[in-house]
Structure formats: structure tokens, C-alpha cells
Chains A and B, each alone.
Chain A
């Protein structure tokens, strides 16, 4: 309860700034319209017009909220292709597209983090990999994803791989990196005393990995997974931009073709909620796991 006041204050401040920005950005068009009609435009009229345009430069929060509500609840309960009438989510609604994005993101995230963990184990145990892998991993992340994603999509499409897999690969491409960085640090986190102790028992490298290094790296892993899953979502959305079918990225591009700014913003809200949900899920698993493992989280 004590956190409620500061949280609400921040939300109110953001909404206020948003409204001010919407008035400011949309005013030109409203004035233009008034001039052409030869009408007067008093300030109160200006404000109400800027907040109710059909294709504003920046939609007002209540417009976005209405659109979001329309594309989720109304579409599924009342729409012809909605869940209530057809038994499946409407392809005009956001839920259908969000689910497609969620699936590809989750799939890519699993591949990416698995690959990241394997790479980190290799880096920690093999000197050649230690010296050679990291520069490539860093280089891979400096390539702009918007440049490389369409190429991967097109190349895979030409060999007949389409749909979920190409999107998941882009998601994995972005999500493996934080996992590698975090896991290398985590696997190296046991101190000299711990490794000396294992040496006095003649433990093999594999035994040390399984019994000490991997368990010690779990707190680091979860911190990386949170970054990784958000990155995977960005990767999936970018990968969806150039292709048709379902997905929040596809919806974003369609919205921008037709200048449907309100729809774009509603889709962005859906993407943000999706990210919140996924990071929250990782956070929940993190809390339960670390508590169970006796780490002070």
C-alpha cells in the first residue's frame, strides 16, 4: 500500500506528459483544418480536436486504451471472427497476433539460452574457445538486427523454411548473448577456496561443473534470462515485420502502411504487456528456484 502513492504519481506524470505531447504534436493539423474551413479555433476547441483525431501524429492515451479494448475484448466477444462466435481468436484482434509472437519468442528464447549456456561452458573449460568465441559473440550483436533479420528470413524462405522457425532463429540470435555473458561470469563465480577443495578430492572438471559451477551460476543465469527474453521478443517482432501471417510485428507494419497510428500504439501496448508477462514469469521461476537453492535472493 505504501508503494501505491509513488507508483500512481509516476503513472499520472507520464499520462500528463503524454497528453501535453499529443496536444502539441497534433495541433498543427487541427489549425490547418480550421484555416481551410475558415473557422475560428478557440483554445478549448483546439485541445478537444487534438485528442480525437482519427490519424493523429501521437494518439492520446484514452484513444489507445479504447483501441486496445476494441481489438481485444470487443473483437473476441462481439466480432464475427471473435472467440465467442468462432471458437478461436480473431485474426483481426491482438490476442491472436500476440500468441503467435509469444510462441516464436518462447521457442527462440529456449534455443538461444540453451546455446548461450553451452557456449559459456565451452568458454570456461576450453582456452581456445575462451580466447576466440567472445569477440565473435560481441561482433554478432553489433550488426543491426533490422539489417540482418530480413536477410535471414529471405534466405530461409528460399530453402523452404518459413513460419515459426525463422522468427525463432532471430529471437535466439538476440537472446543468446546476455546468457553467454552472464553464464561465463556465473561459472567462474566460485572462489579459489571452493575450487581448491574440489582439487583435494581429485574431482574431475566435469564433476566440478555439475556440482559446483552450474549450481553457483544459477543467480547469474536468471539475471541474464530476464534480459534475454526481452531481447528475444524484440527479435521476434523485428523478424515479423517483413513477412505476412500472424504476429505483432506484422500488425505494426500493417498499421504503418495505412497510417493507423492508434492501432500501432495499441499493438505496442500489447507488445509491452507481453514483455511484462514473460519477464514476470522468468522472475517468478527465479524467486522460487533461488529460494529453494538457499541463495539469498
Chain B
């Protein structure tokens, strides 16, 4: 599994990426010399304390931030061009559903904006609702759904226009542990079924280790990559792997990496 992944074509390529914010009290280096290649079908997690640049890096990929220097391509295109070609769907920490639209209406929103035909819209909404296991909830309004279901709807919305890349910024950060576990499992199934490339920002070590094919450990001031850990697990990941010695070994290494990043502050 590992081998086929490393042979797959690169989707996101970053080389020597720097980003400096001009804050009120002087410049802040949000990213320093970040180089990383994400290949097709990978599930890459970014983990690190706040201020380490994990979200900033994801936002650079989505062309929501502009790097100060360095090279960044998505599907071989600039991030702006990649966005125009609908290369990625973005999921934020909050579901951000419009209260005046039904769940189906919310999922339809990007499709309307992108100009899909009405029949196509309806068919796609139906398909992604099934994908996130929300069939039958299309006519409900967001307030009628639990937080976990709302977040699933927001994932469906990001999947509706067939982007190959899914960028997720702490999507389950606001949910409780039990809901989070179930959504993690479902996300893995979804990833296996669709073969998407996923960039996933998280605070949680178990979440990162459970989900990822690769874990990128980052540390703050300046934001940089301190370790990249390959996961030995294949695409099939029953919840039980979390008790295996391999899992604990990786979790330990991530923890070490995070600690090291903190010490040299």
C-alpha cells in the first residue's frame, strides 16, 4: 500500500514556502521553509500547537493566503488556477450551514454558484447525501440536526462538485469524543470509497494517527515542519488498530515531535 502511494502522481507540491504576516507588533513568520509533496490518494494530517502554521499551510493550498516566497502547485497549477478548476473542497471547523436553507439547499449552494444544471444539482445532492449517510434529511433545516450531522452535511457540500482534494481544517474539533470517533470511521470509509486526496488539520494525536497515511508534525515561531511520519497501516482501518503496538509507537513519535518543537522555543 505504502509503495503504490509513493509512486502515485504528486497532487500538492510545496517547495521552500515562506509566509510572513505583518502584525501590529511587527512581522510574524507563519511559515518557514515548508517543503512537502502530497500524492494522489494520500491522507495527510497536519498536527501541532496553535500558531504552528498548519491552518495557514492549508489556506495557502486553497489560495486563501498568499505565500511570501517559495513554490506551491496544486494539480500542477497555481493555487488560484486550481481553485478555478474546482480542484478542492474545503471543510471548516464550524459547519457554517445557512439557517434559511434546507440541508439539500445548503449542499446545492456551491453547485448553484458554479452553474451546474438543475437536474445535475438534484442528482449530485442525492448522491453526496447518501455518501455521508444523511439520506432522508435533505428537507430538514440545519437547526433540526445535531452538530455531528451538520458537520457531515458540510462535508457533503464540499464533496458535491467532485473535487479530487478535500481540505479539512479541524472539522471535528468542536464535536464531542464519541461523535468524533464515529465521524472519523465514516471519513475513512468515505476516503476509501472515493479515493480523494485529503489534507487534514487536527489537534488530536489519536485522530491524526488513526486517519492518516502520513502525519506532518509542525511547530510554532516560526511555523515549520519538524517531522513527517509514514503510517504502516493500510486503507482498511478497524477501530481496534488503535490498541496495537504500531499505533502506540507512532502516537509516541508524534508526541515526541510535538514536545521537541516546544522545547526549542
Contacts and interface: CB of A to CB of B under 8 A. Distances in A.
A binds B: yes
Interface of A: 193-194, 196-203, 207, 211-212, 215, 292-296
Interface in B78-100: 83-84, 88-90, 92-94, 96, 98-100
Contact of B98 (A193, A199, A203, A215): A215
B143 A193 contact: no
B113 interface: yes
B142 A294 contact: yes
Given A197-B92, A200-B88, A294-B100, 15 more contacts: A193-B96, A198-B113, A200-B62, A200-B83, A201-B109, A201-B110, A202-B83, A202-B113, A211-B109, A211-B112, A211-B113, A212-B98, A215-B98, A292-B100, A293-B100
B99 A197 contact: no
Given A293-B100, A294-B100, A294-B141, A196 B92 contact: yes
B8 interface: no
B64 interface: yes
A91 B63 CA distance: 68
B114 interface: yes
Contacts of B89: 200
Contact of A202 (B84, B92, B96): B84
B83 A197 contact: no
Contact of A193 (B63, B83, B88, B92): B92
B114 A201 contact: yes
A197 B90 CA distance: 7
Nearest to A294: B99
A271 B37 CA distance: 72
Given A293-B100, A294-B100, A295-B99, A199 B110 contact: no
A295 B100 CA distance: 7
Most chain B Cβ neighbours within 10 Å, of A194, A197, A293 = A197
Nearest to A211: B109
Contacts of A292: 100
A216 to B, nearest CB: 8
A286 B99 CA distance: 16
A196 B64 contact: yes
A207 B98 contact: no
Contacts of A295: 99-100
B113 A207 contact: yes
A295 B143 CA distance: 9
Nearest to B102: A294
- B contact residues, range: 20 to 34
Contacts, number: 49
12 contacts: A197-B92, A199-B63, A200-B62, A200-B83, A201-B113, A201-B114, A202-B84, A202-B113, A211-B109, A211-B112, A212-B98, A215-B98
Nearest to B97: A294
The 9 nearest A-B residue pairs measured at CB: A294-B99, A293-B100, A200-B90, A201-B110, A203-B113, A201-B113, A294-B141, A193-B92, A215-B100
Contacts of A296: 143
A289 to B, nearest CB: 10
Contacts of B142: 294
A194 B64 CA distance: 13
A190 to B, nearest CB: 9
A105 B112 CA distance: 39
Nearest to B167: A200
Most chain B Cβ neighbours within 10 Å, of A200, A202, A207, A296 = A200
Contacts of B141: 294
A294 B143 contact: yes
A181 to B, nearest CB: 23
A6 B161 CA distance: 58
A197 B98 CA distance: 12
Interface string B129-158: 000000000000111000000000000000
Contacts of A196: 64, 90, 92
A211 B106 CA distance: 11
Contacts of A207: 113
Given A194-B96, A294-B142, A199 B113 contact: no
Contacts of A193: 92-94, 96
A105 B63 CA distance: 50
Contacts of B92: 193, 196-197
B99 A293 contact: yes
A35 to B, nearest CB: 71
Contacts of A293: 99-100
Most chain A Cβ neighbours within 10 Å, of B62, B64, B141 = B64
Contacts of B109: 201, 211
B114 A202 contact: yes
Contacts of B143: 294, 296
Nearest to A208: B113
B163 to A, nearest CB: 9
A196 B94 CA distance: 12
Nearest to B142: A294
